[in-house]
Structure 1
Amino acid sequence: MTEDRDIGLPARRAAIDILSSALARRAGVDEALTRPAFRNLEPRDRGFAMALAMATLRRLGPIERALEARLAKPPPEGVLNILRIGVTQAFVMGTPAFAAVTTSVDLAASHSSTRAFKGLVNGVLRGLLREPPKLDDPEALCPPWLLARWSAAFGGEAALAMAALIADEPATDLSLKSSAEAGRLAAELEAQVLDGGTLRTARKGDVAAWPAYGEGAWWVQDASAAIPARLLDVQPGESVLDLCAAPGGKTLQLAAAGAQVVAVDRSAARLTRVQENLDRMGLAAEIVTADAGDWADERTFDAVLLDAPCSATGTYRRHPDVLWAARPSDVAALAGVQSRLLDSAARRVKPGGRLVYCVCSLEPEEGEAQVAAFLSRHPRFRIVPAQAGEAGAPAQSLLADGTLRLLPHHRPGGQDGFYAARLQREI
Structure 2
Amino acid sequence: MSNSATAARRSAIYLLDQVLGEGRLLSECLAAGALDRLEPEDRARAQRLASETLRGLERADRLLDNHLNRTPALTVHNTLRLGAIELCNGEAAHGVVNSMVEIISRSRKHGRLKGLVNAVLRKVATEGPEAWPKMRVPRLPEWLRDPLIMAWGADAVAGMEQAHFGGAPLDLTLKPGVNGPSGDVLPTGSIRLQDAGQVSTLPGYKAGDWWVQDAAAALPVRVLAPKAGEKVLDLCAAPGGKTMQMVAAGANVTALDVSEARMARVSDNLERTGLKAQVVVGDALEHEGQYDAILLDAPCSATGTIRRHPDLPFAKDGSEFGGLIELQTQMLAHALTLLKPGGRLVYCTCSLLPDEGEVQIEEALDMYPGMTVNRAALNIPGVEEDWITEEGGLRLRPDFWPDRGGLDGFYIACLNKSA
- Is TM (by shorter chain) over 0.5? yes
Which residue does 1:397 correspond to in 2? 387
Of 391-400 and 356-365, more deviation after overlay is shown by: 391-400
Which residue does 2:64 correspond to in 1? 67
Distance 1:141 1:103, change over 3 A: farther
Letter of the 1:91 partner, please give it: C
Q: Is the 8 A contact 1:142 1:166 kept in 2?
A: no
The CA deviation string for residues 125-177 of structure 1, in whole angstroms up to 9 with x for no partner, is 22323332436755534223322222111111110001011222321101111
Which residue does 1:152 correspond to in 2? 150
Equivalents in 1 of 2:258, 2:392: separation in Å? Answer: 31
- CA positional deviation for 1:302: 1.1
| Percent of matched pairs sharing the same residue | 41
Equivalents in 1 of 2:328, 2:135: separation in Å? Answer: 34
SS in 2 for 1:392: coil
Superposition map of 1:74-153 within 5 A: 74-92=71-89, 94-132=90-128, 133-134=131-132, 137=135, 140-153=138-151
2:355 pairs with 1:359: no
2:230 pairs with 1:233: no
Distance 1:35 1:359, change over 3 A: closer
Equivalents in 2 of 1:25, 1:421: separation in Å? Answer: 36
Superposition map of 1:3-22 within 5 A: 7-22=4-19
The CA deviation string for residues 186-208 of structure 1, in whole angstroms up to 9 with x for no partner, is xxx12111122211113433322
Equivalents in 1 of 2:28, 2:119: separation in Å? Answer: 33
- CA positional deviation for 1:216: 1.9
Which residue does 1:168 correspond to in 2? 166
Equivalents in 2 of 1:200, 1:240: separation in Å? Answer: 28
- CA positional deviation for 1:401: 2.5
Q: Is the 8 A contact 1:239 1:260 kept in 2?
A: yes
**Match among 218, 243, 250 for residue 251 of structure 1:** 243
Q: Is the 8 A contact 1:219 1:249 kept in 2?
A: yes
Q: Is the 8 A contact 1:10 1:37 kept in 2?
A: no
Q: Is the 8 A contact 1:59 1:141 kept in 2?
A: no
Distance 1:400 1:350, change over 3 A: same
**Match among 348, 351, 372 for residue 338 of structure 2:** 348
- CA positional deviation for 1:247: 0.6
Equivalents in 2 of 1:365, 1:37: separation in Å? Answer: 34
The CA deviation string for residues 383-409 of structure 1, in whole angstroms up to 9 with x for no partner, is 111577625334432213321110012
Which residue does 2:406 correspond to in 1? 414
- CA positional deviation for 1:359: 0.5
Equivalents in 1 of 2:226, 2:100: separation in Å? Answer: 54
Q: Is the 8 A contact 1:375 1:381 kept in 2?
A: yes
TM-score, normalised on structure 1?
A: 0.91
- CA positional deviation for 1:324: 1.3
The CA deviation string for residues 29-88 of structure 1, in whole angstroms up to 9 with x for no partner, is 234335676222233322322221111111112222332343222111111111111111
- CA positional deviation for 1:9: 2.5
Q: Is the 8 A contact 2:164 2:398 kept in 1?
A: no
Distance 1:353 1:359, change over 3 A: same
2:270 pairs with 1:270: no
- CA positional deviation for 1:26: 6.1
The CA deviation string for residues 334-387 of structure 1, in whole angstroms up to 9 with x for no partner, is 111111111111111111111111000111111111112222221211111157
Structure 1 residue ranges without an equivalent (≥5): none
Letter of the 1:51 partner, please give it: R
Q: Is the 8 A contact 1:244 1:292 kept in 2?
A: yes
**Match among 181, 188, 193 for residue 201 of structure 1:** 193
Letter of the 2:413 partner, please give it: A
Equivalents in 2 of 1:345, 1:363: separation in Å? Answer: 22
Equivalents in 2 of 1:231, 1:329: separation in Å? Answer: 32
Equivalents in 2 of 1:69, 1:101: separation in Å? Answer: 18
2:278 pairs with 1:286: yes
Distance 1:215 1:301, change over 3 A: same
Which residue does 1:23 correspond to in 2? 20
Distance 1:109 1:389, change over 3 A: farther
Of 97-106 and 381-390, more deviation after overlay is shown by: 381-390
2:367 pairs with 1:369: no
Q: Is the 8 A contact 1:227 1:393 kept in 2?
A: no
Distance 1:174 1:321, change over 3 A: same
- CA positional deviation for 1:249: 0.5
Letter of the 2:292 partner, please give it: D
**Match among 356, 364, 384 for residue 374 of structure 2:** 384
Distance 1:43 1:387, change over 3 A: closer
RMSD: 2.1
SS in 1 for 2:144: helix
Q: Is the 8 A contact 1:174 1:218 kept in 2?
A: yes
Equivalents in 2 of 1:388, 1:291: separation in Å? Answer: 29
Q: Is the 8 A contact 1:26 1:326 kept in 2?
A: yes
Which residue does 2:51 correspond to in 1? 54
Distance 1:251 1:368, change over 3 A: same
Q: Is the 8 A contact 2:227 2:251 kept in 1?
A: yes
Equivalents in 1 of 2:162, 2:327: separation in Å? Answer: 31
2:209 pairs with 1:213: no
The alignment covers a number of residue pairs equal to 415
Equivalents in 1 of 2:44, 2:112: separation in Å? Answer: 30
Distance 1:136 1:34, change over 3 A: farther
Equivalents in 1 of 2:93, 2:326: separation in Å? Answer: 50
Q: Is the 8 A contact 1:241 1:261 kept in 2?
A: yes
Equivalents in 1 of 2:43, 2:348: separation in Å? Answer: 34
- CA positional deviation for 1:267: 0.8
